[in-house]
Structure 1
Amino acid sequence: MTKIARLHSFIIRYPDPNDFDNLRMTLLLRIDTADGLTGWGEAIAMWPEACRATAQIIHDGLGPVVLGHDATDTDVLWQAMRRHVWWYGEGGIASLAISAVDMALWDIRAQAAGQPLYEVLGGLQHQRLRACASAHVNKATEADCVAEVAGFFAAGFRSTKLGFAKKGMSRIGGDPDTDVNFVAALRRELGPKAEILIDIGNGVRWDVDTAISVTNRMAEQDIGWIEEPLYPTDDAGYRRLKAATCVPVASGEREWTATGYRRLIESGSVDVLGVDPARVEGVTGFLAIDQLAGAGGKIVNAHAWSTALTSAVSLHLSLASANTRLFELKPFPVVVQQGLVEHPIIQIDGWVYPPVGPGLGITIRPDVVQSLTVEDRKSGR
């Protein structure tokens, strides 16, 4: 039995060049077994207080549940963790904490099997995935923003997902006419074949009529989908939007559990489900959501916006899912992607390929983890 011997969490802080070097935070978790295996997980808690709260739940709540048990018994331990947090855990900080532990356990399980994670998950459904440059639109002028996106395609990317109303100097996301004009300028620059995905996001507050109007105007530029043009829980608004447009609608990256995704699917208003394994209770949670998506005929898009660790887990899950069709990568160098692991995940001629080696197929650099750590804590021996 591969007994869990130790949990070691690291709250890290790093500058993100995609956000003009604004500081971001996340929590990394290392789990060691008594027979020498090490697995890594992540909880994208983002803010200082959320990272500290997640660490406390991991060590004071989940640690006693999993320590001493077989790390490869992922389903049993996932259920045990969910039972432990039943009073406060249908979403929120508890789901983040479960995510980190579950991801690390699956890493260990795949290593113990001597296989890449995607093989343990049932094998490859894709030999490669289209590489999507996922970025914020935040430069000073429309011309600068268009030129930046054109650079992604010149670098080999075959798709782009663009977040509006983000930190920076851009006015895009602040006015519907400006937004529509930007997408039209982008299409003129990129040509008819480039895939353009629009992520409206938290910085924009549209009513339903505005969302319908803007989406249909952007449809003239053949956008691939529009993501969260309304508040995520506005089911009635999303149903109106879906009925009034031919553009696929995406949502979900702010959901926590399979229950939340079931609501989205049953609402009949969402075509693409954004799913983040560092948020939705780990690999096990992702698999449950993916199964629901397949039954409902929905596309799954892994939200891999944080570190190379979450990117690796998301890639394995995406490659093993019949419901995925692309993979998001940051098109800018950032320490938690290129520096955190020895061999970062990259696009090659516009494609992302399966990692090799047992487990996640990445090697975490302890020196980089330590250099970014602002707070850490251990449980176990």
Structure 2
Amino acid sequence: MTKIARIEPIPIEYPDPNDFGTIRRTVLVRVETDDGIVGWGESIAMWPEACKATALVVREGLTPILLGEAIDIEALWVKMRRHVWWYGEGGVASLAISGIDMALWDIRGKLEGQPLYALFGGLKHDRLLANASSHVNKKGEAACVADVEGFFANGFRSTKLGFAKKGESNIGGDPDTDVSFIRALRSALGDEAGILVDIGNGVRWDVDTAISVANRMHDLGIGWYEEPLYVSDDAGYRKLRANTKVRLASGEREFTETGYRRQMEFVQAVDVYGVDPARVEGITGFRRVDALATQYGKTVNAHAWSTGITTAASLHLSLASPNTEVFEFKPFPVIVQDELLAEKIWHKDGWAYPLHGPGLGIEVQEDVVRRIAMA
């Protein structure tokens, strides 16, 4: 019986052209079996101290309880959660579980000679609409509009735009400026283009402002309106839901099935849930949240905005889910998408298609991993 022989957390860092070369960080997890099969996962910790802490939990907390264990993913997922009972149910513990769980699924697919979507019950979609997910950060409205026009010229059929990000743009925070940008964008792209708005953590609106902007943007045909209020403002989201017809999105800062269940059962305001398998206790955690979405009639959007490893996991999960609509890509070249894998995951004519190789269906370039590993 195949057993776990080695687990290695590898914090990495790299410049991201989407944010003018800002250094981004994450933790890759390499798991190897006693018969030499290697699986890859990711824990999207992002901040340097969180990456170090996540790697520590993987190395000193979870590795000792997993070495020598057979590849029984559900049992190992439960074992990891029980181990972190005192400091878990979110945060660094959930990130650490995510990377290991993802790598174990990669191994299981390779052992069975099947792509992950086949292990999840098969494809629910033959393809998904390709979405260029980017930050609005150029100087002036015209430059920001031109940036997005370039995505569509390169074949994308939808875009998701993060406001109030690093850069030279004044988009994000001033309601009139933000609505003006979406109006100009709609005029430039036409009625059929998908436009999704991510208001961003840098914006601090009260609920009445969020309602006003929501209704003005709804008239411009946006597909959804993401996190215009702080994520824990339950009363604000309920009031917003009652006063706008635009779909509301949130969830990318949740860590566990419990958190999403609370949102769906108690808050009852969100239509589209962002779910990241590198954050929500892995592929196993994602599938549990996806099952909740099926139960409550919600849409799921994989927050795949990191390395090609998470992109691969998110693509399998998205195509095997009945609850998904689009798939996000980074529209700018970046090492963790363009060089980390032997073959970049990319759209074809504006659509995201399945990966058919076993496991995640990717070949990680270990020399690149070592080159961008944090010192």
Q: TM-score range by the shorter chain?
A: over 0.9
Matched, 1:83 2:82: yes
- Structure 2 residue runs of 5 or longer lacking an equivalent are none
1:356 is displaced (CA, Å) by 1.7
1:47 is displaced (CA, Å) by 0.9
What is the SS of the residue equivalent to 2:179?
helix
TM-score by length of 1: 0.97
Q: C-alpha separation between the residues in 2 aligned to 1:356 and 1:108?
A: 15
What does the per-residue CA deviation read over 1:62-112, in whole Å, with 9 as the maximum and x for residues that have no partner? Answer: 0011110012x0000000000000011010000000000000000001110
Partner of 2:199: 200
What is the SS of the residue equivalent to 1:25?
strand
1:332 is displaced (CA, Å) by 0.4
Partner of 1:379: none
Q: How does 1:1-381 map to 2 (within 5 A)?
A: 1-71=1-71, 73-266=72-265, 267-375=267-375
What is the SS of the residue equivalent to 2:374?
strand
What does the per-residue CA deviation read over 1:205-241, in whole Å, with 9 as the maximum and x for residues that have no partner? Answer: 0000000001101111010000000000111100100
What is the SS of the residue equivalent to 1:8?
strand
1:325 is displaced (CA, Å) by 1.1
Letter in 2 for 1:352: A
Letter in 2 for 1:269: A
1:36 is displaced (CA, Å) by 1.3
Q: C-alpha separation between the residues in 2 aligned to 1:218 and 1:128?
A: 28
Letter in 1 for 2:64: P
Q: C-alpha separation between the residues in 2 aligned to 1:167 and 1:235?
A: 28
Contact 2:238–2:268, Cα closer than 8 Å, also in 1? yes
Letter in 2 for 1:360: L
Letter in 1 for 2:263: L
Q: C-alpha separation between the residues in 1 aligned to 2:254 and 2:353?
A: 27
Q: C-alpha separation between the residues in 2 aligned to 1:305 and 1:192?
A: 26
1:277 is displaced (CA, Å) by 0.3
What is the SS of the residue equivalent to 2:258?
helix
Letter in 2 for 1:64: P
Using the TM superposition, name which of 134-143 and 62-71 deviates more: 62-71
1:126 is displaced (CA, Å) by 0.6
Q: C-alpha separation between the residues in 2 aligned to 1:123 and 1:15?
A: 36
Q: C-alpha separation between the residues in 2 aligned to 1:158 and 1:360?
A: 25
What is the SS of the residue equivalent to 1:30?
strand
Letter in 2 for 1:258: E
What is the SS of the residue equivalent to 2:187?
helix
What is the SS of the residue equivalent to 2:200?
coil
Letter in 2 for 1:79: V
- Percentage of pairs with the same residue: 66
Instruction: Give structure 1 regions of 4+ aligned residues with deviation exceeding 3 angstroms.
Output: none
TM-score by length of 2: 0.99
- Structure 1 residue runs of 5 or longer lacking an equivalent are 376-381
Q: CA RMSD in A?
A: 0.6
Contact 2:173–2:205, Cα closer than 8 Å, also in 1? no
Letter in 1 for 2:209: T
Q: C-alpha separation between the residues in 2 aligned to 1:203 and 1:15?
A: 21
1:174 is displaced (CA, Å) by 2.9
Q: Report the number of matched residues.
A: 374
What is the SS of the residue equivalent to 1:215?
helix
